[in-house]
Each structure stands twice: as C-alpha cells, then as structure tokens.
Amino acid sequence: MKRVLITGAAGFLGSHLCDRFVAEGFYVIGMDNFITGDKKNINHLLENANFQFIEHDVTDFIEVANDLDYILHFASPASPIDYLKIPIQTLKVGSLGTHNLLGLAMAKKARILIASTSEVYGDPLVHPQSEDYYGNVNAIGPRGVYDEAKRFMESITMAYHRFHGLETRIVRIFNTYGPRMRLNDGRVVPAFMGQALRGEDLTVFGDGLQTRSFCYVDDQVEGIYRLLLSDYSYPVNIGNPHETTIKDFANEIIGLTGTSQKVVFKDLPVDDPMQRQPNIELASKLLKWEPKVNRAEGMKRTFEYFKGLTKEELYRSEH
C-alpha cells in the first residue's frame, strides 16, 4: 500500500485530496495545525483504518514514523483576508514549511508535490497566463507575503530537484471552489453565497470588471492526481479557463440563489489582479486533463453545501 502525507489536510483542498487518495487505495497521513482549517472537514475520515491525522505546524521540524512514497504540501493560508491577517505565518509556511517538507521527502525518498498558485503571476500583463510567463508581482505590497512565499516555494523546490535529484512536482492552482470552503474566508464564492443565504447585499469590490476563472474542486483534484503520477517536474497550471467578470458572477449567484438582494460596490483591495485565466494547453497535452464540471453545475453543488450549514455557522463571525 502506497503512503502519502498531505499537509493542510483539514482545509478545503487538502480534505478533498485526502478523500481521493483514500478512495484510490492509499494510506493517507493528514497533517494540519487548524490555523485556517476545520476538523469538520476530516471528521468522516478519522475512523478509517487507512487514514491517520497528525496535528502539527509544518514550520516546526516534522517527524513521521511511517515510510512515505508521496508528499503533497498544501498547508498555507489561501484567501486574501487570511494571509493579510497572518502574514508572517503565510511567509513561514511557504518558506520554512516547504524547506522542512523537502527535507522530509529527501529522508523518506518520497516524491513531493507542492501547491503553488496563479498568484505567482501577480497582476498579469500577459493573458491568458501560461507557465512560461514570469509574472508581475509587487513583492512589498500586502499580497506580496503570499505571492513571494509561493515563488520562493517553487524556487527551493526546483533547487532540491536540480541539486539533490529529488522527485518534485509543482501545481499552479487557479481559483478553485466547492464544498468545504470556509464560509467566512473572504473568497468570492463563499462570500457571495453566505451573503445570499443571510439576505445581505452582495459586495463587489471595485467596478467588478476584474475577471477570474473558477475551477470546480473535483476537476482540480483530478488534475493534481494526474500531475503527481506524471514524470514532469516543471510547474503546470490547473484551472478552468472559462473566465467571467466578478460583476457578472455576482449576478449569476443572485440567479442561482434566488436572493432578492442587490449588488453593492466596495473598494478594490490593493494589488487585486485585473485579469486571470489559465492557459491549460500544457496540462491538456501532458496529463490528458481538462475540466469537466461547468460553472453552473459546480456552483449548484457548492450552494447545496452552504445551504446545509447550521444557522450558527451561517452567522458566526470570524473577522
């Protein structure tokens, strides 16, 4: 039985990855310190004989008793309000955390996949973004703590690959959504759905003409799974190229949820990227992968999840 360590296991993507690897017959070790995650996301796995959970901050030295075949490093605050609230932890988990996990991968002779992001392209001057674009990042802006942590993460991962011959994979994840996103993490999908469910106006930042391209979680997990098992060591974009403006997206959510509320405009956060769309030719060629779930279907499934939250969860304020 192959063994995989997944960091960030109690988070949105990490918990879906744990489910997928358990379903594929792996022995899964999940690790998390719950800084932005929730035990609720993995409760269903705790009784599973092929799952083990270790509560640990990956910026501290990591010890795992078992042999490991694979490591997936997904621990990191991922939403703009999270990484603005905990900027130092964000830098540390991308740098010190990644260093620890690369060391662990060396010791265990394991293959490691790291979760990078479309944010390495910053506010892109090239559209759509392909892997050979170097990006346009403001290192000292508020978002820089996330963007530069992830750029460092890619850099040190390539160094371990080149210098030590470590087997490495880098996924550049574009906006991904689905069940188990934290309602109050500030990202646009849970923000709009929470507002619709509470009967509040939908807050569009700026003029709403900035674009994003939303990928459903099952498609993202499939892309990551295929990349891990591929033999390609350079970064690969995984995302859904179907682009929308945030204003149009708000109206889609109004239609989906049937809320009688309207759109209100708020200030645009500093360095908020104006355009974002993945070029996925590489993933398509290399991994024979493309997204299968369209936005209407994915948002419907996601809204079902948010509708299932308790009143207490819906009104809990975290920031």
Of the residues 146, 177, 216, 225, only one is catalytic, namely 146
Query: CB under 5 to 8 A by kind: which of ligand UDP, ligand NAD, none does 188 bind?
Result: ligand UDP
Q: Binding to ligand NAD by residue 14, rule CB under 6 A?
A: yes
| The one among 33, 90, 116, 175 contacting ligand UDP by CB under 6 A | 175
Q: Binding to ligand UDP by residue 79, rule CB under 6 A?
A: yes
Interface stretch with ligand NAD, choices 33-41, 98-106, 202-210, 270-278 (CB under 6 A): 33-41
CB of 164 to ligand NAD, least distance (A): 22
Query: CB under 5 to 8 A by kind: which of ligand NAD, ligand UDP, none does 20 bind?
Result: none
List C-alpha distances in Å: 20 to 167, 174, 218, 289, 307: 21, 19, 9, 16, 24
Count of CA atoms in the C-beta half-sphere (13 A) of 302: 29
Query: CB under 5 to 8 A by kind: which of ligand NAD, ligand UDP, none does 122 bind?
Result: none
| The one among 124, 187, 216, 237 contacting ligand UDP by CB under 6 A | 187
Q: Binding to ligand UDP by residue 191, rule CB under 6 A?
A: yes
CB of 208 to ligand UDP, least distance (A): 6
Query: CB under 5 to 8 A by kind: which of ligand NAD, ligand UDP, none does 212 bind?
Result: ligand UDP
